[in-house]
Amino acid sequence: MRRFLTRARVGFMRRCEFRISLALLVCSSGCGFAPAAIIGGSFVATGSDTTPRFFHRAGLLPNGLVIVTGGMRLQISPASLISLNAISFYNPATGTFSNSFLPTGGGAPVTPVLATARSSHTQTTLLDGRVLVTGGVTGASGTSPGTSVNSVEIFDPQTGLVSAGPSMNSARVNHTATLLPDGRVVVTGFSTWQIFDPAGHAWSAEFALQRGRAEHAAVLLPDLTGPGGHRVLLVGGAGNGADTLELLDPFGMVSSLRSATLVVGVDDLAAGRLDDGRVLIVGGQNPGTGQTVNRSYLYDPLADVIVEVSPPPNRTDGLADHELVSLGRFALIFGGEQEVGGTDTELSYAAFFDRATGQWTQLPNMTQARDDAAAVALPDGRVLLIGGAVGFFGIPLPTSTAELFVPNAVVLGDLNGDGQLSAADVPGMVATLVSPAGATPRDRCAADVDENGRVDGDDVQPFVSLIAP
């Protein structure tokens, strides 16, 4: 979709990225004591955002609302991109968006906006509930997305106000921001990386990357080298590191290239950490040709080994600019675009990957195509998809619509489907163990209690533990 945009900073400007992770999907029927497995799902429309936008960011606030910042809209006449300073809030309970916010610390509703209209920025909810907004581009005009900036803003839900934060050393766009368990934020893009410390309200010095990159993916690897040994993995990106993986040490302030590499260098890819510690890497575009690729990999950061796995189904022409949400052993992808021969097509595609089986399952299409959208995993297991571009006579037109992915989840061990774990599930478990091939996909999923992709004797003991804790 980016071919009509002017590339900024050594050819890096083409898209925005948004990555959100959730550690574990909890059964929405209230049985949160048991893990759940996704076997499908559906898409339903929800309220529309307050403005059409793409290249925006979104994330959760401590009070359960979703905050959306910035982005760009498209003015039709005269045709021009317009940078946005708009902030909106989505209430999952009512399914509505609003520009108005009720400060959690008390007081009258306010209507906060960014001081600098920006897109392709990063947005991070800090451990104290504030929201850090960094970089991006501002001043969009015509087909140009604008000029990259180093400015920083912080939204405080206690007051509902946006204030200026300390600027980064360098302007960044299409960069990444990764929240560490200790509360610091690692920001990477172009040739350097930097760490923001909310406690000290200050940035570290800049540190050199081994390879220049933007439009890359960044994944937190908690406790990689032992308790507290957190690392940040960078994958691909436009620049001279498109096929490389790089590991950042936010304590030693050093980075190193990994031995493992991608088969094909890409930017505009997506990556997320699964519950076994491996990283799923999906799709992207060849930086030289713009052609989208249909490849996916599993990377083991402990062994530094990457293995190519089956790609998303029915995506011969690949995909990029898609959103990825990690949910425990599962990862879901939504939307994006394909590019073939210089022609972009916005996608309504959706699928999920199960690390237990190593296989993808295609989901029903979204209610509409969404390229360069934003995705947020809600606490109840649903996923909110906001805005993005839909194709309109060959033009990527930003939309204000939003929708929810509602997973069809099975509680492990709940063979009779009553939402409870009890002796009543034993007959179904026995029948599935005796004849897995003759069982329904739902029952096989429920009986695979050890989550290794097989129904066998190894599932008996964990099943017994679930029904008789």
- Is residue 81 assigned to a domain? yes
Neighbours of 382 (CB within 10 A): 18
- Is residue 67 assigned to a domain? yes
Q: What is the pLDDT of residue 394?
A: 80
DSSP lists the bridge partners of residue 172 as: 149
- Is residue 247 assigned to a domain? yes
- Is residue 418 assigned to a domain? no
Whose CA is closest to 329, among 352, 350, 355?
355
Are the C-beta atoms of 162 and 113 separated by less than 8 Å? yes
Q: What is the pLDDT of residue 316?
A: 96
Verify that 227 and 336 share a domain, yes or no: yes
Verify that 349 and 393 share a domain, yes or no: yes
CATH of the domain at 248: 2.120.10.80
Neighbours of 164 (CB within 10 A): 11
Verify that 429 and 319 share a domain, yes or no: no
Q: What is the DSSP letter of 433?
A: H
Verify that 384 and 440 share a domain, yes or no: no
Q: Cα–Cα distance between 22 and 310 in angstroms, integer?
A: 23
Q: Cα–Cα distance between 125 and 195 in angstroms, integer?
A: 15
- Number of domains comprising the chain: 2
Q: What is the pLDDT of residue 325?
A: 98
- Is residue 124 assigned to a domain? yes
Q: What is the layout of strands, in order, in the sheet containing 231-235? A: 217-221, 231-235, 244-249, 254-261
Q: What is the pLDDT of residue 441?
A: 86
Give CA angle at 222 (60, 310), nearest 5°.
85
Please enumerate, as own/partner, the contacts of 111-115 that have beta carbons within 8 Å and a separation of 24 or more.
Answer: 112/87, 112/155, 112/160, 112/161, 112/162, 113/85, 113/86, 113/87, 113/162, 114/69, 114/70, 114/85, 114/86, 114/87, 114/153, 114/162, 115/85, 115/151, 115/153, 115/162, 115/164
Handedness of CA 384, 388, 394, 395 (dihedral sign): positive
Mean pLDDT by 10 residues, the chain (469 residues): 38 30 28 65 98 98 98 92 98 99 98 98 99 98 94 99 99 98 98 98 98 98 93 98 98 98 98 98 96 98 98 98 96 98 96 96 98 97 98 90 96 90 94 93 92 93 89
Tokens of 94: 């009512």
Verify that 368 and 442 share a domain, yes or no: no
Q: What is the pLDDT of residue 1?
A: 53
Whose CA is closest to 381, among 349, 417, 419, 410?
410
Are the C-beta atoms of 394 and 3 separated by less than 8 Å? no
Verify that 330 and 452 share a domain, yes or no: no
Q: What is the pLDDT of residue 35?
A: 61
- Is residue 417 assigned to a domain? no
Q: Cα–Cα distance between 15 and 397 in angstroms, integer?
A: 14
Q: What is the DSSP letter of 263?
A: S
Radius of gyration of the chain (CA): 22
Verify that 103 and 10 share a domain, yes or no: yes
- Is residue 416 assigned to a domain? no
Q: Amino acid letter at 267?
A: D
Q: Amino acid letter at 54?
A: F
Verify that 444 and 322 share a domain, yes or no: no
Q: What is the pLDDT of residue 76?
A: 85
Q: What is the DSSP letter of 267?
A: B
Length of the chain: 469
Q: What is the pLDDT of residue 77?
A: 85
Verify that 330 and 447 share a domain, yes or no: no
Of the candidates 381, 411, 441, which is a domain's last residue? Answer: 411
- Is residue 382 assigned to a domain? yes
Verify that 263 and 400 share a domain, yes or no: yes
DSSP lists the bridge partners of residue 67 as: 59, 89
Only one residue has tokens 């945009």, namely 5
Give CA angle at 119 (116, 293), nearest 5°.
165
Domain of residue 442: give its range. 423-467
Verify that 183 and 85 share a domain, yes or no: yes
The residues near 200 (Cβ < 8 Å, ≥ 6 apart) are: none
Tokens of 455: 């129904």
Q: Amino acid letter at 79?
A: A
Distances (CA, A) of 144 to 7, 12, 34, 224, 297: 8, 13, 50, 41, 34
Query: Which segments within 215-336 are labelled E, that is strand?
Result: 217-221, 231-235, 238-239, 244-249, 254-261, 270-273, 279-282, 296-300, 305-309, 323-327, 330-334
Neighbours of 72 (CB within 10 A): 29
Verify that 402 and 432 share a domain, yes or no: no
Neighbours of 458 (CB within 10 A): 12
3-state helix, strand, coil split of the chain in percent (to 5) is 10, 45, 50
